[in-house]
Amino acid sequence: MSQCEKDLEELRETFKSGKTREESWRRTQLKNLLRLLEEKEDDIFKALKQDLGKHHVEAYRDEIGTLIKSVNYALDGLKKWMCGKKAKLPIAAFPSSAELVPEPLGLVLIISSWNFPFGISLEPLIGAIAAGNVVVLKPSEQAPASSSVLAKTISTYLDNKAIKVIEGDNSVGDKLLQQKWDKIFFTGSTKVAKIVMAAAANHLTPVTLELGGKCPVIVDALTSSWDKNIAMKRILAGKFGTCAGQACIGIDYILVEKTYANELVQLIKDAIPKTFGENPKESHSISRIINRTHFLRLKNLLDEPKVKASIVYGGSTDEDNLFIEPTVLLDPPLKAAIMTEEIFGPLLPIITLDKIEDSIEFINARPKTLTIYAFTKDEALKKKIISRTSSGSVVFNDTIIQYAVDTLPFGGVGQSGFGRYHGKFSFDTFSHEKTVARRSFLTDIWFRYPPWNNKSLQLFRSAYRYDYLSVVLITLGLKKA
């Protein structure tokens, strides 16, 4: 930790020097990050294959490509983001002006997760750099190959006196949390988030928590074969095709009417081999489980007798290769762990309801989640979902797309986290919007000062209602106080 403390002191000195506040420095670092992503693409592919078994196309779609897009978006908007915004002032303050000026928070700690080790590390880093901060990135030790690539490449491509990667296990993370930061950005589990918040409270450090939860998808009866085909592709991509379901915004379970359940199960059974191949493990279309601990956790979810009896597709596991095939379950017990814990894997429970509208009550009876997905053409149902549920986001007739759009904030609510980022929202997350007000000596409001009398009180009553005519009349004695 002595070396860590020296690193943090160097970062603080860099921030004090003011160079990270300069647009030229921010722009240079973002361009270098873009160069890193382009020049080290093969290294990133290999690391993601080694850690998670990700196909290189999936790796580009979900991590490299989205990051290149985000860096370019930040470069295009940086100048405008850095500019202050004029604020309106009441006539009573004339002559005066005010603006809101964004300033960097200072020393930032980013703790990232293992499921998207590059995307979840570098997406917030883009915002922290654009906002002019100095940063420590703590990658997840559970994705060691990716962590190593991040440490080597960031120290080579970016300003090592302003941006550092510190690798290590939980003990390193705990020691980092004991330090004083100006902002902590954490992505991970609710359990660890509580530790992060407790540590941040010691220094009153602001935090952003990106967590997750059991994201449901409501599937209404679809009549068109085209709609059904597209819906199945999007549902399977949102569950099995995104890091094998090891994603905070991935689908956790499906809610459907009983009368439509059998057809839905058959549609999914038909769609899985078309999407991932007859043997998904051999086609490398689905990532593997991150490690043995998580594999056994998922296997234990399936091994509960009543849960195992509810499997209608898949269910096979390969511990040697840490692979679980896409598995679909119909009405597992609601009190079973598979329905009370976040699954974070390629297991898809389908829960049947008497009416699709009952899905709202079902969702509201559980902790708030990061996203609610719904496949429906029923506008009345859409309105009910929006107005009567609470979640980080709602997506109709698709999955995952909200993560990739720069103009939409990404973040949770309640137990699914708080704070938001992506695009300009990342810049805002790592900035403080400082109020700057300017006033002239030319005029003054005499009644704002003692000695007080009833006339002063009446003038205040009128002024705070912006009733300037009454202020003038009372001042001239034309209206009684």
Per the listing, tokens 């709202």 go with 360
The neighbouring-strand residues paired with 374 are 218, 396
The end-to-end CA distance of the chain, in Å, is 68
Q: Which residues contact 317 (CB under 8 A, 6 or more apart)?
A: 295, 298, 299, 302, 323, 324, 325
Torsion over CA of 416, 419, 421 and 426, rounded to 10 degrees? -160
Q: How far, in Å, are 337, 382, 481 from residue 365 at the CA level?
A: 16, 19, 56
Which token pair is 176?
């980092």
**Amino acid identity of 272?**
I
Q: How far, in Å, are 3, 37, 248 from residue 404 at the CA level?
A: 37, 17, 14
Contact 280, 320 (CB under 8 A): no
Element holding 347 (H helix, E strand): strand 347-353
Active site (catalytic) residues: 210, 248
Q: How far, in Å, are 118, 160, 177 from residue 192 at the CA level?
A: 20, 28, 12
Q: Which residues contact 90 (CB under 8 A, 6 or more apart)?
A: 466
Q: How far, in Å, are 42, 234, 340, 381, 390 from residue 357 at the CA level?
A: 48, 22, 21, 7, 15
Half-sphere exposure of 20 (CA within 13 A, CB side): 30
